[in-house]
Structure 1
Amino acid sequence: MEQGRSNGEDPDAGWSLPAWTYADAEFLGMEVERIFRPSWQIVCHLSDIGAPGDFHTLDYLGESVVLIRGDDGMVRGFTNVCRHRGARIVDGTSGCAKKLVCPYHGWTYETDGRLSGVPMKASYGDAFALADHGLSPVAVEAWQGFLFVRLVDDGGPSVAEMMAPYAAEIAPYRFEELRALGRVTLRPRAVNWKNIGDNYSDGLHIAVAHPGLKRLMGEGYGVEASLHADKMWGPILDRPSANLSERAYQHFLPPVPHLPAERQRLWTYYKLWPNFAFDIYPDQVDFMQWLPVSPTRTLIREISYALPDERREMKAARYLNWRINRQVNAEDTALVGRVQAGMASASFTVGPLSEQEVALRHFCGRVRQAIPQARLHRAPAMGWSSGGTGYLGGNKNDEIL
């Protein structure tokens, strides 16, 4: 296994996050404010909202965000909230609208967010001005054809800056030309969001718990961590797998003219801080996002994209890719469920991390940096997040009184 950079400056770098942080409501509240609201979240691809009026929504953290292409061709983001009484304006994950009309009282907004119509406008008084009540904007970034939103701008890096170490690797895949294969799927999981992300970046379990990936990649699976993204990768072996679907994928995967030789049969995964990833295959590109719903519930959101390719071999490869990864997903679902259940035991606090677990070490370090209470092996007393550090001295294994 390849080894990347770990966080040597963190005195707790050799340890996982404590189990209580995977089930504590106050800790999740701190994560929402300090980690999620300032972070970028992937919404869709530019091609998903290609025409004026096309919109796509993302619901998370109690917010609903709508991305819409304006009549001028620009894509803008707004909270999906009427400025009158706070009602949600649009329903569903996607659609097309010439105007955004609130179904409660009929307030009407243009595709650029301007309030343009209010029934009985005169009744709101002379001081009421339409220009003061447009939709609330959110930050939007387009990177390589994908669209991202951020609820709070804390001066953190752009998505382009986060992925800068891997820009040259991604360039040949022609992300901007991708088109959706089907629709976004939503999969609820009864686990903390961090358990899903930890599992995604964990390379040590591949040989143990994913026999299919082991057959396809042998000993070639690698992991590394950069400042804002983890990278995992594995080459598809030429040796035929004993599994029918895997062997068929190896056989049918056709040459991809726009990819360099070293990427013709390479699977690469990039996980971006804090909770989404790109799975990049020669035949398609998927994004996966895990959104917290509660301390012990998460919603996985994912979709596949690909370049137009009518070759029968490519269609077969994409179908087989789905079959292979459906099995991998089922194995991962069982694994993270085991971990979430085991973390409920009073016998478990933190676990040692191998020097090869560079991505996990880096992620844990970033969480501890954002929320120092994550260094405590046992949960602080209730109310710790309302003020103070929650740590009154003594050993980190002590309960906080």
Structure 2
Amino acid sequence: MSQTAEQHAKPKLVADQDAQSLPAWTYYDQDFFELEREKIFLPAWHLVGHENDLQDVGDYLTFKMYNEIAFVVRGKDGEIRGFHNVCRHRAARMVDGDYGNCGRNLVCPYHAWTYQLDGTLTGVPYLEQYENFDKAEHGLTPVEVDSFAGFVFLRFIPGGPSLKEYLAPVAEEFALYKTKEMKPLRQPGGRLREVNWKNATDNYVDALHIPIAHDGLHGLLGSSYKLTIDRGVHKIFSQVETKQMSLPSNRAYRKILPSVDHLPEDRQHMWTYYKLWPNLMFDFYADQIDFMQFIPLTPTTCILRESAYALDDDRREMKLARYLNIRINRNVNREDKDLIERVQDGMGSLSFAQGPLGTSEICLRHFAKAMREAIPVAKSREKPSADKIREAFNA
């Protein structure tokens, strides 16, 4: 075999691991999926919604991740609290759906144990049957909850950075857009994506595919895309351009979008995307703010959970701009769904173990490095032995 043929048969590995993607096995392996639960997701802050999703007493939002189920609720005293969505009697789920209103107390639909909105257990049918029973010891189990700039977060395992520290890199952005005053354009909800969660978040910060796979978005934003990383937060931003665009919705959006008084001139037509560790994204537009999360479901499926918020604005032009924004991004999401499914199909192939990352792919490089630091077995090109995986759980 000639030297050239040998080079094609056995590609030379890049010595610098930072220039390589995460290994393919981490995108479909069940053991790695469980490691992610323990090392990444349970200790992390997770966005549940906005304070204005919970305007009335008894309004709640639910959140589900792996086998953990939780909800946040507006109490009679106006406070927002979070609890595991689990009755302390027989573990029945307390509230249903993505959102709702439970009234002025919480009643388990299985045996009618009744809790106040602060989690206190106050009603137990057949109380006399329970020996040495103390209602004070059987309230709903709380989860840590905090709010920032109007957004409500929870985490299942306390410790680590505070919510304020976690969101510090985007604090100025939130204030600039007045997110605390925003109201929901729709309630948070989810859609199934048949891909690993990392596959979906990788695509979010992959700028190289935009001119190839998103003709409409590329026509709207042109080649002005820029990528930066600030204290671990990935930022992609671009100006909506005035050149001829291929899609009518895009042209109409750029023409109709009215000015927003509290935003500086350079933000009037800027689209900005933020990705925060590990799976949270914010889209900042002059007309509205969106959030997206890719929440792990199985090693090869996830839930795209999302919602949108905006300031009160009765102008006809603003209402139409928001409608067009939704149409534009619906097309982008449909195109991305096809792309990430193509990637997920390839991750399971014997022909693919790892891929190179270009020097401009700074966000993908940064994320892969953060994953290897959080779960060091991700440094291995092939799946490690069962003993190595067990050691990783105890590390």
Q: Which amino acid aligns with 2:348?
A: A
Rounded to whole Å, the distance in 1 between the matches of 2:337 and 2:362 is 22
Q: Deviations over 1:151-185 (max 9, x none)?
A: 011x3223332232232233121101111112333
1:262 matched to 2:266: yes
Q: Deviations over 1:308-362 (max 9, x none)?
A: 1111111111111111111111111111111111111112111111121111111
- Partner residue of 2:294? 290
Rounded to whole Å, the distance in 1 between the matches of 2:181 and 2:304 is 25
Q: Which amino acid aligns with 1:103?
A: P
Rounded to whole Å, the distance in 2 between the matches of 1:166 and 1:305 is 17
Question: Residues 110 and 11 of structure 1: is their aligned pair in 2 closer, same or farther, counting only changes over 3 Å?
Answer: farther
Greater Cα shift, 194-203 or 167-176: 167-176
Deviation at 1:210, TM superposition (A): 1.4
1:349 matched to 2:353: yes
- Of 121, 130, 145, the residue aligned with 1:124 is 130
TM-score (norm 2): 0.92
Rounded to whole Å, the distance in 1 between the matches of 2:169 and 2:99 is 33
Rounded to whole Å, the distance in 2 between the matches of 1:16 and 1:221 is 22
Computed over aligned residues only, the root mean square deviation of the Cα atoms, in angstroms, reads 1.7
Deviation at 1:384, TM superposition (A): 4.5
1:36 matched to 2:41: yes
Rounded to whole Å, the distance in 2 between the matches of 1:388 and 1:69 is 39
- Partner residue of 2:339? 335
Unaligned runs of 5+ in 1: 1-9, 391-401
Q: Which amino acid aligns with 2:166?
A: M
Q: Deviations over 1:58-90 (max 9, x none)?
A: 122111111011111111000010111111111
Deviation at 1:186, TM superposition (A): 1.8
- Partner residue of 2:19? 14
- Partner residue of 1:396? none
1:372 matched to 2:371: no
Greater Cα shift, 345-354 or 179-188: 179-188
- Partner residue of 2:74? 69
Question: Residues 27 and 116 of structure 1: is their aligned pair in 2 closer, same or farther, counting only changes over 3 Å?
Answer: same
TM-score (norm 1): 0.91
Q: Deviations over 1:28-51 (max 9, x none)?
A: 000011000011111111011112
Q: Which amino acid aligns with 2:99?
A: S
1:51 matched to 2:64: no
After the TM superposition, list the runs of 4 or more consecutive aligned residues in structure 1 that deviate by more than 4 angstroms.
Answer: none
- How many residue pairs are counted as aligned between the two chains? 379
Rounded to whole Å, the distance in 2 between the matches of 1:378 and 1:343 is 13
Q: Secondary structure at the match of 2:87?
A: coil
- Partner residue of 1:319? 323
Matched-pair contact (CA < 8 Å) for 1:162–1:229: no
Deviation at 1:26, TM superposition (A): 0.3
Question: Residues 388 and 336 of structure 1: is their aligned pair in 2 closer, same or farther, counting only changes over 3 Å?
Answer: closer
Rounded to whole Å, the distance in 2 between the matches of 1:21 and 1:186 is 24
Q: Secondary structure at the match of 1:137?
A: coil
Rounded to whole Å, the distance in 2 between the matches of 1:388 and 1:36 is 15
Unaligned runs of 5+ in 2: 1-14
Rounded to whole Å, the distance in 2 between the matches of 1:169 and 1:298 is 28
Deviation at 1:383, TM superposition (A): 6.2
Matched-pair contact (CA < 8 Å) for 2:240–2:269: yes
Deviation at 1:203, TM superposition (A): 1.4
- Partner residue of 1:234? 238
Identity of aligned residues (%): 49
Matched-pair contact (CA < 8 Å) for 1:162–1:228: no
